[in-house]
Structure 1
Amino acid sequence: MTKDIYGHFHQDEHHFVDKAWDWVERAAEQHAVKLTDFLDPRQAFILNSLVNRHPDVHCRLDGGYETAERKRAIIAPDYRSLDSEDMAMAVLAVSSGDGKFLTLEHGDYMGAILGLGMKRDKVGDIHVIEGGCHCLVTQDAADYLHLNLSQVHRVHVQTELLSLNKLEVAQVQLDELHLSVASMRMDGIVSDVFRLSRAKVLIPIQAGRCRVNWKLEEDPSKPLKEGDMISLQGFGRFKVLEVEGVSKKGRIRVKIGKFA
């Protein structure tokens, strides 16, 4: 692979670029078919970019339902139809054994799964629903989780494996904020959303803990735009829903959706 491809991606992404390009080359030259684990949206974008550079390869992305965030990919020679390929996913349904369920959040379920030694890549989207959660997992991890996941944040739980057509998708809860900002600089908006000083915001940004549209972003002055998804490790994430206009004093009115 020519090194100029690296110029399109952050240095921290080069390892994944190498791995994804290897999948593409194997599909083209060895007629190999590769089913990946779950990819985040940024990884999916990188993979698609590399697939599009090769005329003899194509791929399919599927996260178990139409609006999935995390998806598995299957990469193959372009003569092979991928529509009917099995993406090898299952729904892990988690519920309280005694009927009493404390308020558990996405992070509680994720922490319990990772605490069993499971890799993050084996887990797709997690939907917190009434009485528990539905979690997309790879087929090869499903039985292990079904047998071993018995507690989530001190709550004893039961698990069941379901087919994809039984998946319950949670409604995304966004807390709307209306901000008045001097500019669309990332550090200023992140500061207002998480109620931190500019100085305190700079520390995690420059430490590589901030992502814009799942891409690592270390420049505090990066301008944000409508539709951008921003996450700050340890604080949460939000979406720029709308730039509503400019006030008479020249300040920009922005509507933010903060994930609950």
Structure 2
Amino acid sequence: MAFPYKHVVLIGGTAGIGKAMGDRLIESGVKVTVVGRRQDRLDDFVRRHGENKASAVAFDIGNLDKIPEFAAQITKSYPDVDCIFLNAGLQRAHKFSEPETVDLQAFNLEMHVNFTSFVALTHAFIPFLKSKETQTSLIYTTSNLAIVPAAPVPAYSASKAALNAFILCLREQLQATTNIKVIEVLPPAVQTELHDYLGVEHGRNIGMPLDVFTNEAYQGLVDGRDQIIIGSIGPVETVKEIAEKRRVAVTEIAKMMRQLGSG
């Protein structure tokens, strides 16, 4: 099997998992439009792959009021896009046992970037994706911590848990009446820049090697899975079991609410 989409808009694709997934998609023959804040990295992505395979758009997804304009620009410039891959993310430690050390502005920024901006992007792109005659997709990178949180990173854990809940609801809403497939990739800790707040040398050696993760994630996408759990902080089967039980419960609740005329 091959990756089923032809042109991916990869939001948060200039570093770490996003960059690696962008490289892998292009290697498989998929066009990629990468989105990020750092123009030098965007330019490097296009330079490495060539303008016939890659393009780039500079945008900060934290600017919520600009997201509708951004989505309109993307869909006008690249009408063949059939997949939006939302991958951006921030992670910081917050120690509430020492409240004087907690930066609530930084905490709220994590929630804003990791969750609220993804909701706004989803809302902005759904009309375009629905209008296509072929299957389209929204792909989200969340985290194992969406299922089992890590105490030292409460904002990251909470934002990914919120995003996971949103994805479960979104999938239920879209799967019966639209052509949009909702896919969630749940990584473990991966050796990327995400953990630089712990120190670059230490942080970038935490977790699964990036190439191993990328290969597993790509294979899950090729296999057509819509929930791809890779590795875990604890036993992977425990995380998968919790995730599957939650998913079944969400489906049952959705059925019940539809019967009551609420969904």
Fold shared per TM-score above 0.5:
no
TM-score range, shorter chain: under 0.3
Between Structure 1 and Structure 2, the one with more strand by share is 1
- Report the TM-score when normalising by structure 1: 0.24
- Report the TM-score when normalising by structure 2: 0.24
Determine which structure has more spread, i.e. the larger CA radius of gyration.
1
Between Structure 1 and Structure 2, the one with more helix by share is 2
